[in-house]
Amino acid sequence: MPNIDPKKLPQHVAVIMDGNGRWAKMRGMHRVRGHEKGAEVVREIVRTSREIGISWLTLYAFSEENWKRPKTEVTALMKLLKRFLKDELKEMQENGIRLNAIGRIDKLPEDTRSTLFEIIEKTASNKDMVLTLALSYGGRQEIIDAIRKIAIKIEKHSMAPFDITEELVSAFLYTADMPDPDLLIRTSGEYRISNFLLWQVAYTEIYVTTALWPDFGRDEYLAAIQDFQKRERRFGATNSRE
């Protein structure tokens, strides 16, 4: 494996895949062509993650805010997602990859949603890596959904306000069974979190590259992992002995 220390791998890598539209525009193409190329890069990153031994990979594939895009683009993205899932099933089965989804999944079109559930079910017993797609996902919406569920429990007296701890809040998020991300990668040079995993990235290392998502690939990804391996994580503590 090229200069990757297997003992210092991030357990969970999350990615904000940005720049598909710009990539297409620079080439005089329709934005959808950028998403299509972006989907090919998703394949490469999933494959590379599995190969180097990443346990959790989470991709921001469609945000709550993305519903505001032109209908043609939204429809194309949903179709692309469905095709990607169908095409990837074989590889996921062969490589022990379990599919997972977070977000307000009920808002997805029926055919995309049923394909998603079908693949989640078929890959449910795979144990080597979890690929989570954030779909119709918003970090604030996720926190609101968690607060609502907690409030209902308090209203029913099955929980008291002082039962609310960090662990409890985490357990009510869409990511309840997942570790927090160790590394967050964002492409296309923007220094923003864009409503992605707001609670979960509290101590996450952030890596921003100027590469647009369709130009991102195995080498760029490995460079991000290498950069992560050079960092010293303190989680708010100090390593000073003085």
Question: 3-state DSSP call for residue 119?
Answer: helix
Neighbour order of strands in the sheet with 56-63: 97-102, 129-137, 56-63, 12-16, 183-186, 205-208
Interface residue with ligand FPP, options 35, 50, 113, 186 (CB under 6 A): 35
Residue of 3, 5, 18, 239 marked catalytic: 18
Q: Return d(Cα 119, Cα 174) in angstroms, integer.
A: 18
Phi, psi of 241 (to 5 degrees): -100, 0
Asked if 137 touches ligand FPP (CB under 6 A), the answer is: no
Asked if 80 touches ligand FPP (CB under 6 A), the answer is: yes
Query: Could you count the other beta carbons within 10 Å of the beta carbon of residue 78?
Result: 18
Nearest to 13 by CA among 227, 159, 204, 215: 204
Interface residue with ligand FPP, options 10, 13, 15, 20 (CB under 6 A): 20
Residue of 3, 5, 20, 66 marked catalytic: 66
Residue 18 annotated as catalytic: yes
Phi, psi of 65 (to 5 degrees): -70, -25
Q: How far is the CB of 211 from ligand FPP (least distance, A)?
A: 12
Q: How far is the CB of 207 from ligand FPP (least distance, A)?
A: 17
Asked if 39 touches ligand FPP (CB under 6 A), the answer is: yes
Segment near ligand FPP (CB under 6 A), from 15-23, 112-120, 200-208, 224-232?
A: 15-23
Q: Site size for ligand FPP, by CB under 6 A? A: 20
Residue 215 annotated as catalytic: no
Asked if 22 touches ligand FPP (CB under 6 A), the answer is: yes
Q: Find the length of the chain.
A: 242
Both structure tokens of 110: 């029926």
Catalytic site positions: 18, 66
Residue numbers at the binding site for ligand FPP (CB under 6 A): 17-22, 31, 35, 38-39, 42, 59, 61-62, 66, 80-81, 84, 133, 213
